[in-house]
Each structure stands twice: as C-alpha cells, then as structure tokens.
Amino acid sequence: MLSLASDLFPIIISIEKPADFVSADHRSYINFNKADWTRFAEFTEDIFSSPIPTDVRAGERTFRKVITTATARFILAGRIRDVCSNFPAEAAVLANERDRPRQADPGDARIKDLHSEIRQLVTRHKRTKWEEHLKSCNFTSCMSKLWSTVRSLSSPTKHNDKVDITFNGRTSSDPKRCTS
C-alpha cells in the first residue's frame, strides 16, 4: 500500500482457511436436562398464588417476569467457551478441579489421580457413544450409515492442519520457508 503518506508501510497478510475449518458460533445454550424443575415449580407456584392482577397487561408482564426470574435461577444457561468433543461434563468439572492444583504446585500428587479419573470418564463416554452409534446402524433401515462407518474405519481421513501463507508473492505452508 504505497498510497499512504507515511514512512511506514503496512504489511497485509491473508490466510486462507482450509475447507474443513470450523468456526465457533457465539450462541448461548440452555441445558434443560440439568434444570432444577422442583425448585422452579415451587418458586413459580409460590408467586402465582398471590392475588391475580385485574389488568391483562400487568398480569402478562408479571407472568413474564416470574418465568424469566425462575429460568435465570433454576435452569442452567450460558455460552460454552471451549467445545471439546468426546469430553463429558463430569470430566470437564474434574479437569477444572485438576487445573487449580496444577497451577499452584505442578508436583501435587492429586493431579495424577484426577488425570486418570478424567481419562476413565472420557473413555467410558466414548465407548457409550460408539455403542449408541452401532445400535443406530442396522441392516434393514440404515445401510448407508453402516457402510460409511465401515469405510471410515478401514481408511480414516487425514486432516491437514497446515495453512498456506502468502508473503511477498510466495505461498508456502512449510514453517521453515515461512520464517525465512
């Protein structure tokens, strides 16, 4: 960019994303499975047992406010920061528990035990997912799913994580050539 009136010239870098690149969506998730439905019901029933407003608009506003407050208190929601495939929620809790002593004292004896427990949870989770997948593949209804599973087991696809970088008219994905 030579048209700028400056001694310094900006460097423009363009990086092409691979075809299988997955971008993270900024969505928030609501986990209804982990909601505390008994306390949700008690909270809403307690407030709804008070006198009913005579104005329809005021009643609707109160109803919405009660439901929103109860949802915020008793239904888990939020954004999943890092999505780790095949990593169950229990293992994520243990990983957070393991990371605290790891930062304080990397030689702590509890780290090894927590790590092995996390590995067992992940292995168990993967096994149940695999069993569910195999149960969903049957000879009568879903033959294409069965054959795609067999094909993926016999020749798994390899992903190339290298990204081509173009600098000064040269395109390369080799780390050594990119730095020279």
pLDDT, tens only, 126-179: 888 888 877 777 766 677 777 777 777 777 666 666 667 776 777 777 767 666
117 pLDDT exceeds 70? Answer: yes
Q: What DSSP element (H or E) covers 44?
A: helix 37-48
Average pLDDT rounded to a whole number, residues 84-92? 78
Residue given tokens 């096994």 in the structure block: 127
Question: Could you tell me which residues come within 8 angstroms of residue 11 by beta carbon, excluding any fewer than 6 positions away?
Answer: none
pLDDT band of residue 31 (cuts 50, 70, 90) is confident
- Long-range Cβ contact pairs of 39-47 (< 8 A, separation 24 or more): 39/73, 39/74, 40/70, 40/71, 40/73, 40/74, 40/75, 43/69, 43/70, 43/73, 43/74, 44/70
Contact (CB, 8 A) for 64 and 13: no
Q: What is the pLDDT of residue 76?
A: 84
What's the mean pLDDT in 119-125?
Answer: 89
At residue 1, does pLDDT exceed 50? Answer: no
What's the mean pLDDT in 28-39? 85
